[in-house]
Amino acid sequence: MAASHTGHLAGADAVINGLFRQYGVIRVRDLDELLETANLLAKLPQGTGPNCALYSVSGGSTTLMAELADSYGVRFPDLSPATIETLYSHLPRYVTVSNPIDNGGGFVIAAQQQQRIEVLEAFAADENVDVIVVGLTAALGLLSDSFAADVLAFAPRSPKPIVAVWGSVLTDSPGYRDLVRSGVPIFRSFRKCFRAMRARADYEAAKATFRSRSWEAAPLSAGQRDALRQAGILDTARTAALFDGAGINRARERLVSSPSEAAETVTAWGGRVVMKLASPDIAHKSDAGLVLLDIGDTATAAGAYDSLVAKARHHFPAARIEGVLMQEQIGSGVEMIVGLTQDPDLGPTITVGAGGIHAEILKDAATRPLPVDKDDIRAMIASLRLSPLLDGARGAAPADKEALVDLVFRLAQLGLAAGPAISELDLNPVIVLPDRAVAVDALVVAART
């Protein structure tokens, strides 16, 4: 069983997802999605952009299209003023012309086909539009078949690709049969359509930015090799040697072995400190109540030392106790977790996510197999739900994301250099402040060789 939080977050599925994202591999959920996504990829021209015009016969269906497109991150930009003017000249006056747009349904029945096709031509002429997504959702055969006929008449000469979504329950109608035979990409639901559109956009972006990643990393120092020589959880000194050799920014700390040393440290440092029991046999000390915050005077520090040691001896009588780790108390910031694990098939992986005591509850993390570069790390951070917090929220100053990127990259380089010698590693939390990122707690498990 994993000893680290990272080990619990970076499961096999998370690693595979990270690998696929890193190299632009599209992952589908079932055979239907495979066929429809492959159909879209095969039929849309290479280099087609991601911006969609959403067009249907009713306000309800266009609202659904917009909501689902937005949920999958599919872009549907504003139409140009010229396009809006053209559309107003064709569509009923009661229709609001925007993107998405519905034609009111009656337009398909009342207008001549040439006029209906001119609406599609207006979309295709708009420089903001790359793809036209047409929703055919009416159970009324006259509407669906006529709308499909418009698509089929215009698609062969359209300068922009057209994608059809057939939401009607009628699949034996001429319109549906003709669409299937036509070569126009066709989906049976908006959800599948926009999922495939997002997958394709991600694939195009991955191709455009594809690059090789370097497997080279500076070799471990003699001190780092010594730190990993003995299997199991590293003690305080070995942990410090490993991270200091990698240049990872950590909170100032001092291991003390008596109440008087604890008191002296508070006096020498000034300000507030954190006190943690130091033992390689107790992995998660905050869970055991062996971390005390906001210690600011000598008497409290001396008493805290005695309290931590007594509590550890009572609850963990077999544990080796090194003493108490005194650490400068870092100010409030965004708490992250950064860690390494070993995947049995892909080797070392790196994880970054929401940290602190709730890391495993929040499950907001991104994992990639090594090697990674800084652009990969930026993409990992951007994929997190908490990413907006790093940009500043509710009046808070933006956090130093580049300092976090640098810290993660240094840890990734350590993971490459150490290879299988590191079984698991947590930096949790890493506190990201407006001017720096600081690791304030660490757990390292050296592998058995």
pLDDT at 3: 58
pLDDT at 204: 87
pLDDT at 61: 86
pLDDT band, residue 264 (cuts 50/70/90):
very high
CATH at 309: 3.30.1490.20
Dist. CA 305–CA 256, nearest whole Å: 9
Dist. CA 4–CA 1, nearest whole Å: 9
Q: Over pLDDT 90: what percentage of the chain? A: 71
Q: Give, for 233, the enclosing helix (H) or strand (E).
A: strand 232-233
pLDDT at 103: 86
CATH at 168: 3.40.50.261
Residue 134 forms part of a structural domain? yes
- Say if residue 381 is in the same domain as residue 416: yes
- Say if residue 321 is in the same domain as residue 376: no
- Say if residue 276 is in the same domain as residue 175: no
- Say if residue 237 is in the same domain as residue 305: no
CATH at 356: 3.30.470.20
pLDDT at 92: 87
pLDDT at 239: 96
Distance of CA 338 to the CA centre of its chain: 14
pLDDT digits (tens, 9 = 90+) for 290-330: 999 999 999 999 999 999 999 999 999 999 999 999 999 99
- Say if residue 240 is in the same domain as residue 257: no
pLDDT at 6: 60
- Say if residue 420 is in the same domain as residue 317: no
Mean pLDDT of 225-248: 95
Dist. CA 373–CA 412, nearest whole Å: 9
The sign of the torsion formed by the CA atoms of 361, 363, 367, 373 equals: negative
Encode 16-35: b = buried (16+ Cβ within 10 Å), e = exposed.
bbbbebbeeebebeeeebee
**How many other β-carbons are positioned within 10 Å of the β-carbon of residue 236?**
18
pLDDT at 413: 97
Residue 92 forms part of a structural domain? yes
- Say if residue 92 is in the same domain as residue 241: no
pLDDT at 138: 64
Q: Which of 208, 230, 260 is the last residue of a domain?
A: 208
Structure tokens at 176: 């549906």
In DSSP terms, 350 is beta-bridged to: 340, 368
Q: Over pLDDT 70: what percentage of the chain? A: 96
Q: Is the pLDDT of residue 10 over 80?
A: no
Q: Which residue has the higher pLDDT, 138 or 206?
A: 206
pLDDT digits (tens, 9 = 90+) for 270-292: 989 999 999 999 988 888 999 99
Residue 186 forms part of a structural domain? yes
- Say if residue 278 is in the same domain as residue 289: yes
Q: Which residue has the higher pLDDT, 18 or 210?
A: 18
312 is in which domain, residue-wise?
252-328
- Say if residue 237 is in the same domain as residue 258: no
Residue 213 forms part of a structural domain? no
Question: What stretches of 50-113 adopt beta strand conformation (E)?
Answer: 52-56, 101-102
Q: Is the pLDDT of residue 355 over 70?
A: yes
Residue 297 forms part of a structural domain? yes
- Say if residue 46 is in the same domain as residue 194: yes
What percent of the chain is helix, strand and coil (3-state, nearest 5)?
45, 20, 35
Q: Which of 303, 328, 353 is the last residue of a domain?
A: 328
Residue 241 forms part of a structural domain? yes
pLDDT digits (tens, 9 = 90+) for 389-438: 999 988 889 999 999 999 999 999 999 999 999 999 999 999 999 999 99
Q: Give, for 12, the enclosing helix (H) or strand (E).
A: helix 12-23
Q: Number of folded domains in the chain?
A: 3
- State the Cα torsion 28-31-32-38 to the nearest 10°: 60
Q: Which of 328, 358, 375 is the last residue of a domain?
A: 328
Residue 344 forms part of a structural domain? yes
- Say if residue 129 is in the same domain as residue 150: yes
- Say if residue 59 is in the same domain as residue 176: yes
The answer to whether the beta carbons of residues 175 and 164 sit under 8 Å apart is no
Residue 224 forms part of a structural domain? yes
pLDDT digits (tens, 9 = 90+) for 123-161: 999 999 999 999 987 656 678 888 999 999 999 999 999
Predicted structure pTM score: 0.81
